[in-house]
Amino acid sequence: MSTLIISPGPLLGHTTVPADKSITHRSLLFGGIALGVSRVRNYLDSGDCRATLAAVRTLGIQVEEPQPGEWLIHGRGLGGLHEPETVIDCVNSGTTARLLTGLLAGQDFHSVLAGSEQLRKRPMGRVVEPLRMMGADIAGRDRGRLLPLSIRGRRLTGIDYQMPVASAQVKSSLLLAGFYSKGLVVVREPGPARDHTERMLLAMGAPITRRGPVITSEPPKQPLHPLDLTIPGDFSSAAFLLAAGVTVPDSAVSISNVGVNPTRRGLLDLLVEMGADISMDNWSESGGEPVGDLHVRHSELRSVTVGGTDIVTLIDELPVFAVIATQARGETVIKDAAELRVKETDRIATTVTELRKLGAQIEETPDGFIVQGPTRLRGARVDSHGDHRLAMALAVAGLLAEGATAIEGAECIPDSFPGFERTLARLGAELE
């Protein structure tokens, strides 16, 4: 187990962040079922994405790397996947497991999905249950609610499904299954979940339509076009630098080429509402995704209440938002975020536990937390609980705290942000 020791101090300068993890996962899976060679540049080389890379190769898809940071994905078409000769190990990646479940449910072969001890605790029922309504033959622990899953592929029927909770992974799984169904798959969202799947598949010519919160998918009559894509920087990674820039005195940070998809930028909009000095420029588009440069300076912040459909647009950023809230004036309330309890860890409990060690005035609630601010944090020894986003949130807190902060279990950080420590150091952070 590695320990990251971080001392207080500002971040100053210009940087980039690693490529978007969600888009990287999808480029591999969707490129694999396109017909032809997809070219993907600036992919994320992280543990989770390597799990998806290994999975598509296990399914018979050839992926080359002609030069660093570039893939050539030799898509075999919608019916070109091969029965895997071994179990597909999703390692620690929930995205890999859930999207593959939908893709594999309609194949004409048998497959088994497994994962790490941590992933085997995460819920799969939210994906398995609607797929079973479509006729999928899926078995697993706890009646298919937990990995490992055994998937005996078969032709599926259509479905009109009202999602109880907004989830990009459930939506994506069902839309992929729709390519192998006898009828329409209609997915009704209760709120705006991430739409990377729809954007990418539409760019590939897939028969997907969207009318407000209703998305439909059906078997394509033509092959999916291969991708030619440069992946933007991951907003969820940029969030940690934005958080440090806005909360640590004397900080000023610029981040280039960040994806600012409207379904992902909830933290950005929230910081503006709280009074943060943030600007955006150099707008462009890549593969249907909006991209821009972000600039942030230390700011005095107001407290807010966050809940309802806004939560889904910043669900991954809530641990670091709790750190931001410790520096906002007044009482900040995060509610309707019970989904945090079934992430890599119970992120409500672990965020509250670890920030309290640093002196934060934070209270756990069933579906979120309440934070009083501003509070002077004190350096302490804290634990990542094996959760990359919590580890990086604690690093931001360490830049704020008086004295050194030691983060145990920092080896999980590259799951989503390879080079995080190098990036902080280049911006002036003092690390050991």
DSSP string, 256-294: EEEE--TTTTHHHHHHHHTT-EEEEEEEEEETTEEEEEE
HSE-CB for 277 with a 13 A CA cutoff: 16
Same domain, 206 and 337: no
Same domain, 12 and 35: no
Helix residue spans in 302-346 (DSSP H): 318-325
Q: Examine residue 173 and state whether it is found in any structural domain, yes or no.
A: yes
Q: Examine residue 25 and state whether it is found in any structural domain, yes or no.
A: yes
Distance CA 332, CA 171 (A): 31
Q: What is the CATH number of the domain that holds 350?
A: 3.65.10.10
Task: Judge contact between 129 and 167, C-beta under 8 A.
Answer: no
Q: Examine residue 264 and state whether it is found in any structural domain, yes or no.
A: yes
Average pLDDT taken over every residue of the chain: 97
Distance CA 6, CA 15 (A): 19
Q: Examine residue 79 and state whether it is found in any structural domain, yes or no.
A: yes
Same domain, 163 and 250: no
Query: Phi and psi (nearest 5°) for 304?
Result: -145, 165
Q: Examine residue 227 and state whether it is found in any structural domain, yes or no.
A: no
Q: Distances from the Cα of 115 to the Cαs of 26, 94, 102, 239, 393, in angstroms?
A: 19, 9, 17, 28, 25
Same domain, 410 and 284: yes
Query: Is residue 344 pLDDT above 90, yes or no?
Result: no
Name the pairing type of β-strands 430-431 and 3-7.
Answer: antiparallel
Same domain, 199 and 250: no
The position carrying tokens 């002077």 is: 376
Q: With H, G, I as helix, E, B as strand and everything else as coil, classify residue 5.
A: strand
Q: Examine residue 331 and state whether it is found in any structural domain, yes or no.
A: yes
Q: What is the pLDDT of residue 1?
A: 84
Same domain, 209 and 297: no
Name the pairing type of β-strands 361-365 and 368-373.
Answer: antiparallel
Same domain, 43 and 158: yes
pLDDT in tens, 137-165: 999 999 999 999 999 999 999 999 999 99
Mean pLDDT of 351-362: 99
What is the secondary structure of 70-122 as a DSSP string?
EEEEEEE-TT-PPPPSS-EE-TT-HHHHHHHHHHHHTSSSEEEEE--TTGGGS
Same domain, 289 and 147: no
Task: Please tell me the total count of domains within the chain.
Answer: 2
Domain with 108, as residue range(s), is 21-220
Domain termination site, one of 168, 200, 220: 220
Opening angle at CA 162, ends 156 and 164, nearest 5? 120
Side chain identity at residue 10, one-letter code: P
Q: With H, G, I as helix, E, B as strand and everything else as coil, classify residue 391.
A: helix
pLDDT in tens, 198-241: 999 999 999 999 999 999 999 999 999 999 999 999 999 999 99
Mean pLDDT of 369-386: 98
Same domain, 215 and 362: no
pLDDT in tens, 59-97: 999 999 999 999 999 999 999 999 999 999 999 999 999
Q: What is the pLDDT of residue 288?
A: 85
* Residues recognised as catalytic: 316
Bridge partners, 238 (sequence order): none
Q: Distances from the Cα of 108 to the Cαs of 56, 97, 179, 357, 385, in angstroms?
A: 16, 19, 13, 52, 39
Same domain, 151 and 276: no
The CB density around residue 428, as the number of other CB atoms within 10 Å, is: 15
Same domain, 247 and 150: no
Task: Judge contact between 116 and 87, C-beta under 8 A.
Answer: no
Query: Is residue 286 pLDDT above 90, yes or no?
Result: no
HSE-CB for 276 with a 13 A CA cutoff: 32
Q: Examine residue 74 and state whether it is found in any structural domain, yes or no.
A: yes
Question: Rg of the chain's alpha carbons, rounded to an integer?
Answer: 21
Bridge partners, 301 (sequence order): 328
Task: Calculate what percentage of the chain has a pLDDT beyond 70.
Answer: 100
- Whether cis (ω within 30° of 0) applies to the bond prior to 374 is yes
The CB density around residue 187, as the number of other CB atoms within 10 Å, is: 26
Query: Is residue 194 pLDDT above 90, yes or no?
Result: yes
Q: With H, G, I as helix, E, B as strand and everything else as coil, classify residue 11.
A: coil
Same domain, 211 and 254: no
Q: Examine residue 345 and state whether it is found in any structural domain, yes or no.
A: yes
Residues 6+ apart with CB under 8 A from 86: 58
The position carrying tokens 């302490």 is: 380
Task: Judge contact between 331 and 353, C-beta under 8 A.
Answer: no
Distance CA 370, CA 348 (A): 11
C-alpha 175: how far from its chain's center? 18
Quote the DSSP letter at residue 386.
T
Domain termination site, one of 157, 192, 220: 220
Domain termination site, one of 220, 252, 279: 220
- The token duo for 25 is 């996962």
